Amino acid sequence: MTVRTRFAPSPTGYLHIGGVRTALFNWLFARKHGGQFLLRIDDTDQQRNVDEALAPILAGFRWLGIDWDEGPEVGGPYGPYYQSQRAGHYAAEAQRLLDAGLAYYDYAKPDEIQQEREAAQAEKRSFSYSRRFMAESDADRARFEAEGRQAVVRLKMPRDGQLVLHDLVRGEVRFDWANEQDHVIQRADGSCLYHLASVVDDYDFKISHVIRAEEHLSNTPRQVFIAQGLGYELPQYAHVPYVAEPGSKNKLSKRKLDKYLKNADFKKTNDHGQAIAERIGLTIAADTFNPVIVDFYEQVGYLPDAIVNYLLLLGWSLDDKTEDFSREAMIDAFSLERVNKAPASFDPAKLEAFQQRYMDRMDVKKKTAFVLPYLQKAGLVDNPPSCDTGPKVAAILTAAADRIRTGGDILDFDDFFTADDALAYDEKTFEKRLRKPEAAADLLTKFRNVLATTESFEPETLEATLKQFVEEQGIKIGEIIHALRVALTGKAVGFGMFDTLAILGRERCLARIDRALRIAQS
RNA sequence: GGCCCCAUCGUCUAGCGGUCUAGGACACCGGCCUUUCACGCCGGUAACACGGGUUCGAGUCCCGUUGGGGUCACCA
């Protein structure tokens, strides 16, 4: 049997990090077994701009390297893969259920059902519809319709017996049929609902394994009922845990941003991203640009491999030590048996740790290309860049090393790209390192003159030069170096001083020192 | 509330009856290194929810309690 899995996004306009994790498990399982992974679009809820709402989702999957064999944009032998285009087929299948006596026309009004439901709840018993508006004959139908009622189609669920489900991650799960509801599968206007559509599609698309989040576990019985009623062969089910909020077991939701922002790690990741977005002129509303949404990471400059590797470990593990997985390795190692049962909290801090690891492995050439667009979007370098930009960025990247953890972090070193007379100083640092220490200005002036005449301007010789200067002056290195840093970069922190000097070059160093000195003394 | 699921450090997890005075990773806290920051190195705090069984022996099996979660739509 060919393994075929699917992920079924509804076009909401963004790709949720928890959804991706579930999609990843589907993708891995299919790849592992040489099968197919497909995307099916759950748009039975007629929406206006499906294409527009779908684009970011497809883009997210592409960015992450989760490719689909069949579905939107790639087609496939069992299409269309949009539920909205398959309505007629669902209606036909609903009719088959009706014909088989497994579904019925129901003329109850919504509030009449609701009353029964509330009564059951008040009596602390499980709800079971009385079926008092069930039409069992044409005469019944005519009578109800004469009352001005409209019919929906409901499932006629068994009222006794048990369903024993063999779930690939949960094992044996039992449900009493009597607890299941007579769910509506078709509206009065003929349109069909999700559960029917989903089951029909899984069958039509020859899905062998339904791997989905555990919130679907409790609606599996009704889907099994539909599938069996229609004579379908059942897929294998695997209900994987959902991704939970940082520090809690609640399901991660994009609607509770305010709450997540109270989590220090989440806030840190978010603030970092927002700052970068602002600098590159990205204007996206907070509800679609935050760490719950995949696009956030792409914009901020995370690496897809880092995210996928992190997500892999949210609910799955190979053993007690392996954390690092290339795509090939994860495809090779993945199995449903090792998927955890309990929900896993999303931890932005750990994601960042993976990001840092993957970033460290990227060579300078790739990193330069990766980082360049951020400088361009921030208006710090031209587009296309001038020919000296590449080497300069590469030099900064090398010097900054692991200080640059996401693509956007290059902007922490914006001072290398601003004009000498436009350099902004961190006021507190300027005060503390340059204005306040009595000897600072004098030392800086002296060292400026040394720099003006030193023969070589390479990091190694500059280091020797400074060390010699320190010795001659009988001072500690800290007395000059902090003042020098704020004069050259405007900042309190940065990478090695000698790299800083060398990258800036003699001319710009002198110009910046002179300017800082002027300002300090004015 | 009914039904269902789940339960090891703050977090992700290893553990499938003895090798567990419970291992790893992230985070956190010390220290070292150091021109700042970061990295790195060394060290540390920190968990089997509780109660009964079963067994020579239980984190591991069973039952219960508690706690957490999911789901009960003419949403997907």
Q: Are A134 and A106 in contact (CB under 8 A)?
A: yes
Q: Considering all nucleic acid strands, name the nucleotide whose C1' atom is nearest to the C-alpha of residue A481.
A: B35
Percentage, residues of chain A above pLDDT 70: 99
Q: Are A247 and A274 in contact (CB under 8 A)?
A: no
Strands A243-244 and A344-345: parallel
Q: How far is the CA of A407 from the C1' of B48 (A)?
A: 41
Q: How far is the CA of A493 from the C1' of B21 (A)?
A: 45
Provide the whole-model pTM.
0.96
Q: Report which residue is nearest nucleotide B3 when distances run from CA to C1'.
A: A179
- Cα–Cα dist A52/A454, whole Å: 60
Strands A103-106 and A36-39: unpaired
Secondary structure (3-state) at A174? strand
Burial of A296 (0-12, 13-18, 19+ CB in 10 A): buried
**Nucleotides on strand B with an atom closer than 7 A to protein CB?**
1-8, 10-15, 23-27, 35-39, 68-76
Q: What do you get for the CA distance between the two ends of chain A, in Å?
A: 81
- Cα–Cα dist A444/A479, whole Å: 10
Q: How far is the CA of A491 from the C1' of B41 (A)?
A: 28
Reading chain A (522 residues) residue by residue, the pLDDT tens digits are: 899 999 999 999 999 999 999 999 999 999 999 999 999 999 987 666 888 999 999 999 999 999 999 999 999 999 899 999 999 999 999 999 999 999 999 999 999 999 999 999 989 888 999 999 999 999 999 999 999 999 999 999 999 999 999 999 999 999 999 999 999 999 999 999 999 999 999 999 999 999 999 999 999 999 999 999 999 999 999 999 999 999 899 999 988 999 999 999 999 999 999 999 999 999 888 889 999 999 999 999 999 999 999 999 999 999 999 999 999 999 999 999 999 999 999 999 999 999 999 999 999 999 999 999 999 999 999 999 999 999 999 999 999 999 999 999 999 999 999 999 999 999 999 999 999 998 999 999 999 999 999 989 999 999 999 999 999 999 999 999 999 999 999 999 999 999 999 999 999 999 999 999 999 988
- Cα–Cα dist A96/A124, whole Å: 35
CA–centroid distance for A211 within its chain: 19
pLDDT in tens, A154-178: 999 999 999 999 999 999 999 999 9
Catalytic sites of A, residue numbers:
254
Strands A236-240 and A209-213: parallel
Q: Are A155 and A225 in contact (CB under 8 A)?
A: yes
pLDDT score at A46: 64
pLDDT score at A270: 97
Q: Report which residue is nearest nucleotide B12 when distances run from CA to C1'.
A: A314
Q: Considering all nucleic acid strands, name the nucleotide whose C1' atom is nearest to the C-alpha of residue A12.
A: B76
Q: Considering all nucleic acid strands, name the nucleotide whose C1' atom is nearest to the C-alpha of residue A127.
A: B2
Q: Report which residue is nearest nucleotide B39 when distances run from CA to C1'.
A: A402
Q: Considering all nucleic acid strands, name the nucleotide whose C1' atom is nearest to the C-alpha of residue A9.
A: B76
Q: Are A252 and A245 in contact (CB under 8 A)?
A: yes
Q: Report which residue is nearest nucleotide B27 when distances run from CA to C1'.
A: A349
Q: How far is the CA of A193 from the C1' of B72 (A)?
A: 16
Q: Which two tokens stand for residue A210?
A: 């339904």
pLDDT in tens, A349-366: 999 999 999 999 999 999
